[in-house]
A = this chain, B = another copy of it.
Amino acid sequence: MEVAETVESVRALVQAARNKGKTIGLVPTMGALHIGHISLIEAAEKKCDFIVVSIFVNPTQFGPGEDFEKYPRPLEADLKICREAGVDVVFAPTVEEMYTSENVTWVNVEKLTESLCGRFRPTHFRGVTTVCAKLFNIVVPDVAFFGQKDAQQAIVIKRMVADLNMPLEIVICPTVRQHDGLAVSSRNKYLTEEQKKDAALIYKSLQRCRKMIEAGITDTRKITTQMRKILSRASLIKIEYVSVVDAETLQSTDRIAGKVLAAVAVKIGPARLIDNILVDSNK
């Protein structure tokens, strides 16, 4: 496995693979790799010949007061995970390598970034789309892999790729969960054992949503009220949003119809956690 720290070196490594006729898969990450990331790498290996994992804690997607400084950066452990998972190249640039001069160019996806997390993190998705555009232009992958856990991110990136005719395919992989349902996340490391137990309520609230929709309930407020009730069992959970929205437009609706995304964001202690499920109300 090669570790590239510069744009030039990762490009050379990818070009050499491409010259051998290999297809390129990119798994963009912020490091602190866990079994969720490993499932993305495995999906990439099934579909592509040559796997690049980028590890970059992107400052432009963190807002003021967020956890950019303290976000975990266990590079050696991450490299070990990548090596064992059969990754070909890890691209781990510095902030200076990625943003060489004052960055004045932004890729903005409007509308889809206004609801859910976008309401609480107004510059977050601009940072995500801009750094993904950069990574796609640097690595030039055939396919890039993202997790369903960041559902809004997945939809926003897919839309960016379609709108800007980016020549790659985006694959969204299922959320990986612990036995108690908690979605695996690098930010779970911020939690105490007690807080982790509380965090399991997030998935419980999403399951309740699914059951209510499957039982034919279409009143969105009735559903989110029940979800909030479940979350409020843990007094230390601070709810940011509990939303059931159209799965394509991410717009909220009073009445559930078609495919919907149930999404939750909460704060538990120092951690902001998000999770979601897709439910087809027609089924």
Measuring CB to CB, which residues of chain A are less than 8 angstroms from any residue of chain B?
7, 11, 100-101, 103-112, 129-130, 133-134, 137-138, 140, 159-160, 162-167
Complex CA gap A109/B166 in Å reads: 18
A108 close to B110 (CB less than 8 A): no
Residues of B within 8 A of A133 (CB): 164
Q: How many copies of this chain sit in the oligomeric assembly? A: 2
Closest Cβ of chain B to A49, distance in Å, is: 18
Contact in complex: B137, A104 (CB < 8 Å): no
Given contacts A108-B105, A110-B104, A111-B104, contact A137 B165 (CB under 8 A): yes
Q: Give the residues in chain B near A105, CB-CB below 8 Å.
A: 107-110, 129, 159-160, 163-164
Pairwise interchain contact A159-B104, C-beta atoms closer than 8 A: yes
Bound together, the chains give a CA A108 to CA B108 distance in angstroms of 7
In the A-B complex, the 8 residue pairs with the smallest Cβ-Cβ separation, listed nearest first, are A105-B163, A137-B165, A104-B110, A134-B165, A138-B165, A105-B109, A104-B111, A137-B166
Chain B nearest CB, measured from A21 CB (Å) = 11
- Contacting residues, chain B, for A160 (C-beta < 8 A): 105
List 12 other contacts, CB 8 Å, given A134-B165, A137-B167, A140-B167: A7-B165, A101-B162, A101-B163, A104-B110, A104-B112, A105-B107, A105-B110, A105-B159, A105-B160, A106-B110, A107-B107, A137-B165
Residue of B nearest to A108 (CB): B106
Measured between C-beta atoms, what is the minimum distance from A154 to chain B in Å?
15
- Whole-angstrom distance from the CB of A224 to the nearest CB of chain B? 26
Taking a contact as CB atoms under 8 Å apart, the answer to whether B130 and A164 are in contact is yes
Instruction: Tell me, rounded to whole Å, the shortest Cβ–Cβ distance linking A27 to chain B.
Output: 18
Minimum distance in angstroms from A226 CB to a CB of chain B: 33
CB distance from A193 to the nearest CB of B (A): 42
Q: Is A104 within 8 A of B163, CB to CB?
A: yes
